[in-house]
Chain A
């Protein structure tokens, strides 16, 4: 029964015309659903599932791009202005997707297990937080800071540079290590950065310690005159979430582009060769030191840029945002999605973030409602349910379970990396 249904669905989705129609219908339906019942998490997840279906179904590539663009540029912002929380979730998904794509280079392609990846995120975040807030006055004196919001865009590049530098700094001492040893050292590096952020408030106050830094400047609404020309009065509370969403979208777009170009080039192939067998790779002419440092720097630079954006989005940051669990979370995303796979990293980021922010929290709320209402199930009064039973508290356990199950049943990830197939030209026969 189920198998027959799956086969029928597969048959529809494999033919371009029916697939296109089905995907458009589903997207329209779920969009309407979310628009009319904005509080329904289930409907929003269905909406996300239709977006995934758009990617998986055999829709002609032009249509796919067009529908995808409409979804990202119109549907999500519209839904996001109906229920602001959804926009927040999508923005967070974007931030984590960019992080996952960066880590994907280091772990997925080059095979260097980095357990301290969030350190680079922190480096980027603090570089803008310090200069985009009055904090820098504590270091340099005077009152020149915060820098004007426009500097944010410069700092996106500064974040890239500083994080890449930190990546090389981490890379240099660990070059001789691989496997478990590398993992441990990178883990230590991640902790060192967090502890530094926590303690660099004396003797010179760089990071303001555990109290964190606030207020961090947001990028200026440079398009305000344009909005006014259309008769829209730019209200920061409405504009900023959308603005940041689009900024994240642009960064994720660039990240994907860079990832793809690196992956499908002699650089990406050298990274994969190192992952497969580094002795053989070196014997074939791949300079290990250079390529490994490049992998660390590239992966870190994405995290740096995203960190700058993150600090501007949050307005407030403290070391709590950059714990070891964050590194593990990003790693879980790429394991879940499929190591070395770009769509996998994005899907992994989506699944983990949505699971965290929506599914588990939603379940907790639901159980609480049932408990408060004293609903009876199978003669069991839910009012007597222990309060410890709250799915949101079991976030890590659910993650752990998912990862264990993945390793057993689908170790290659949900959307594993596919080998590129190419028609070769010339060189026939001997």
Chain B
């Protein structure tokens, strides 16, 4: 869990790659914020969630089985990557964020708290 090294790495380069913007739903209640994101084609181990200071980054690599020698004839999904960054408000506690990822849908819960600290979120299989 070396959050800091990861933060440095993220800063250079990786962000300039083209990526699709995944559609999200965000709902807030008195306890915190729940975010749903559609990331079809992303395997659990290809999903990266990161909260550093007040920013949340969702990134995923798209991969699916294609038979050998397949030629694409029509494509709506052209970029094999999703990325979306959100700014979190100070009243959310990134430290206590939890995430589930199932069938290409991410459900992230960030509860409200005093302050947010950098941390990497573990994805657990639902």
Decide whether A and B are members of one complex: no
Binding site for B on A (CB under 8 A): none
Binding site for A on B (CB under 8 A): none
